Amino acid sequence: MIDAWINAAWTLAIVAGALATWRILTSHRGHPVGWSFAVLTGALTGTALSDGYARRGLLDHPGSLPGASVAALLSTTLFVFGLVALGCICALTPTGRPVSLRWHRATQLMV
């Protein structure tokens, strides 16, 4: 039952990210927040897919799927990219530029 809720939450996050990406980039093509949403959505999608593959290949049926350990590593790496994209969204919203020089330095450090 918990897995169904987790899957629903991941699906909702991916759909919401895709809609935000579409909305921002159709009206402002070069807006950094739109591209950050695109990276976030891609990272969430890749994390969900590779995590499912890794769980099946490493936990449910060990040794049944090739490259399951690589998928686990990819899942973790993509999740970190998603966190960085989320930080960029927070730092660059709403204008697409950091609010101050300190935020600019924090964003550069994060990336």
For 45, counting Cβ atoms within 10 Å of its Cβ (0-12 exposed, 13-18 middle, 19+ buried), the class is middle
DSSP code for 67: T
pLDDT in tens, the chain (111 residues): 678 898 899 899 999 999 999 999 999 988 999 999 999 999 999 999 999 999 999 999 998 999 999 999 999 999 999 999 999 999 988 888 888 888 889 888 888
For residue 66 the two structure tokens come to: 């090739």
pLDDT of residue 100: 86
Cβ partners under 8 Å of residue 67, min gap 6: 57
pLDDT of residue 89: 92
pLDDT of residue 1: 66
For residue 2 the two structure tokens come to: 């918990």
